[in-house]
A and B are shown apart, each in its own frame.
Chain A
Amino acid sequence: EIHEPEEVSVWFREGSSCCQETLARNQRFTETPVNMPGADKETDLSERIESFLSELKRCGSGAGSLRGSAETARETTALLRRITAQARWGNAGELMEIIRKEGRRMTAAQPSETTVGNMIRRVLKIIREEYARGSSEETDQQESLHKLLTSGGSSEDNFRQHFTHLKANVIEAINELLTELEGTTDNISMQALEHIHSNEVIMTIGRSRTVEAFLKDAARKRKFHVIVAECAPFCQGHEMATSLCKEDIETTVIPDAAIFAVMSRVNKVIIGTQTVLANGGLRAVNGTHTLALAAKHHSTPLIVCAPMFKLSPQFPNEEDTFHKFVSPHEVLPFTEGEILSKVNAHCPVFDYVPPELITLFISNIGGNAPSYIYRLMSELYHPEDHEL
């Protein structure tokens, strides 16, 4: 049978029953009585949250994201700042609880958009840090192994204290996070000249705004040739090619089938990704795994340009890692006629690329090997927050 023409998302970490529960709970939360003081602020806030959720649900119908991950990250962070400012909470624990609830709803709305979950975890970590600074405890509670073993994790009672400046501090820290988000693409493109020499042939696949900015920045000073694999069935490579040509970069568009055939003349492969997983692997557009294997066969370095907000604390599961399917109409259109009822057609959107095939990650904090990703993760997220 054909898959139904709507998304079927498989997300192993979020049990579907949990989502139902959360939805029910949150509905109760947002139906506040109108005559309470500050209710306008709350309804305004909940409206915003609802509109954000519905936008999340709508985008990501397979044609790539209608807005890039950077925008999603910025909007999520802005929304979290608003929640911090406008929601009613007394201490850090309550705030974290609110954010977690909203976070679960958001990730349930679009599980494949992992930047939402990442930003939530970042903000949670910020809150923990600010709280810790406020209560003048040791800021890094994970450094000491003894503490890890004996403390039994930081329990929620620790966050019950009330600090007057906690709100301001948290909002300030979130603002810093926002500035960091604004500058990620620029930070990455600044490193372009260190990695691209002249007269190179660079291969890429699909469309990534990060890689586009990266290549355009290098093209200002160096001359090189870019080969773009079009990445059927959405053919985003075409957009990428036309956009690169505007900067006078020599571009060639090839169909996906020719990736291995032309790989022998390619000096570097530079790709973007949707998510960077905790083991250093990637969740990228379909076709990336083939590209990575071909690069490995020819010993061509594979460079991934990914800002840090794409780093997700999930590990890949055994099979069917985070697969997302869209309508098979893209692959086998309805014009094909009666054979459609006898054929299964698949249209997966993402591919898993294991870390052994990747040479380098370029992110806004510099270049890293895939084996170092787990360490970066511990700097960005608190282990308690891996499960929202």
Chain B
Amino acid sequence: MGERLTTSTLLVTEEDEKKHEIIGAKGEGKELTKEEKQRLRKEKKQHKKNKKDDRGPPEKEKEKEKASVPAPSKPATQSPAHKAAPVPVNASASESPVAAEKPAKSKAELRAERRARQDSERASKQGKKEGGQQSTSSKPKATPNELQPVVKRLPDHVQVDDPVALKKLAKKLERQQVPLRSDYGYKVSLFSHLHQYSRKNPPTQQISIPVTVIHPSIVRLGLQYSQGIIAGSNARSVALLHAFKQVIQDYSTPPNEELSRDLVNKLSPYISFLSQCRPLSASMGNAIKYIKKEISNIPSQCKEEEAKRILQECIDSYINEKIILASEAISKYAIEKISDGDVILVYGCSSLVNHILCEAFEKQRKFRVIVVDSRPRLEGREALRRLVKKGIRCTYVLISALSYILPEVSKVFLGAHALLANGYVMSRVGTSQIALVAKAYNVPVLVCCETYKFCERVQTDSFVSNELDDPDDLIVTRNGKTHLENWQTVKSLGLLNLVYDVTPPDFVDLVITDLGMIPCTSVPVVLRVKNVDQ
């Protein structure tokens, strides 16, 4: 069995350690020593055992105050104590920390213990909590076998309607000293489980300057995301990786800590901050997983400079392989599909599709392009500019004129934000509409997507997991009149500005990836192959 730390276990360990940091580090930005952390942990456990239920924030404060009172009757070693006393109710709080200070026990043993503890805790927790939504997976048996256990945590950004999850998120952000962004405007009832932010309230309003907990390049990145300056999944991933390179460059290991553990813990408030600015995309999620894996694979005897160099190289090679070389490979395949005299329809601005078209034009293929665009983002204008600069003949329409323009079209090229494991294509809102109408007119639809955007989630509609953009974007002034100007004051009016939608696989004829040209239904095969490789 490989020594693979899954993301869930890493998150678990980070949370717990962060909790204790706050007591001493709050307002100071200093880190506690290991011994202090151990002591605080013990005290906390005692208090939690004394108080059975009630995990509200005022109680957390009380606990922190009482933390100074020494709690006796706990043996020095961590792990036997935790095995003996499984803590009730709040599973995440009671899941034990990684015994980083116990190099004697091997990682495999610790993980096995932890899993056993999680099982018992989950069983007791299920008895206590009645019918409430849990953030951890509802599967009681997480026995590892050949198939991956589905111990996935439901992401926070789709649980806005659950007050328990919101409180937990608020607590976690407070610990990490990341500002919590508040929702804006009336949300359509079908989407009350999603966040809706306003671009006019950037998340950095509550951050004090100078920022002590979050690295400045991450703050800048977060602002660029939230204002829409960096948009498009490739651009966002590359920007993220560059920011992480900067973070790693500036990082220095504190004494008595291992780089592989500590750096991962350092990254998690950054990731929380970024997801407050804008929910993470699937490609960003995969990139983060890769980085965390690389970091935790750094051997402990490696020197800091060496480790940093290795990590920088890893990031560079990831960007090079997964994004740049992948787009070259995809262009090569896609150009085979473009013949002379073609009329190609593209939607919005996909960096990959633009790249393909520019390459094809350089290879002297004769075709013309129709760019379809939609309000309120109007990204197609950017694509139009890039293509016209190359010298490609272009036509431009809005998506409502699709039925008019489609009889002229011979092929449709679409980009994707992510490809889900059940074959659905998640992409900019409007893509499914284009695929639908193209199908009605019997025009082939080709989706171009790199493999690093493949995602293990499954989804069947565009409601459950989506992103809501600023509703004020829909307001427009025509002939001097702005009808929706005061939409907030009107009681029963809601504006809905979706960002993504999912296209069913029967609308898509071919997916072009760097591994070749596959049908939509082969996505889980590719995922499995990738997992086995890793």
Contacts and interface: CB of A to CB of B under 8 A. Distances in A.
Interface of A: 63, 230-235, 238-239, 241-242, 245, 248-262, 264-265, 285-287, 289-290, 293-294, 297, 319, 323, 331-332, 336, 339, 342-348, 351-352
B385 A352 contact: no
B398 A261 contact: no
A137 B375 CA distance: 61
B404 A323 contact: yes
A345 B396 contact: yes
Interface string B366-381: 0000000011100001
20 contacts: A231-B400, A232-B398, A235-B476, A241-B493, A253-B495, A255-B374, A255-B375, A255-B429, A257-B429, A257-B433, A258-B430, A260-B433, A262-B190, A262-B462, A265-B190, A286-B401, A287-B399, A290-B399, A290-B402, A346-B405
Contacts of B428: 257
Given A63-B479, A233-B398, A297-B436, A258 B496 contact: yes
Contacts of B474: 230, 253, 255
Contact of B493 (A253, A294, A323): A253
Contact of A256 (B374, B484, B492, B495): B374
Interface string B414-438: 0000000000000011101100110
Contacts of A345: 395-397
Given A293-B440, A348-B401, A343 B396 contact: yes
SS of A interface (majority): mixed
A261 B396 contact: no
Contact of A343 (B188, B384, B407): B384
Interface string B466-508: 0000000010101100011000001111111110011000000
B174 interface: no
Nearest to A332: B396
SS of B interface (majority): mixed
A257 B396 contact: no
Given A257-B433, A258-B501, A238 B394 contact: no
Contacts of B361: none
Contact of B498 (A261, A286, A343): A261
Contacts of B375: 230, 232-233, 235, 255-257
A336 B373 CA distance: 14
B316 interface: no
B228 to A, nearest CB: 16
B87 to A, nearest CB: 42
B403 interface: yes
A347 B402 CA distance: 11
Contacts of A339: 384-385, 388
Contacts of A352: 403
Contacts of A252: 188, 493-496
Nearest to A237: B483
A159 to B, nearest CB: 43
Contact of A253 (B381, B440, B484): B484
Interface string B242-255: 00000000000000
A287 B476 CA distance: 19
Contact of B376 (A248, A255, A346): A255
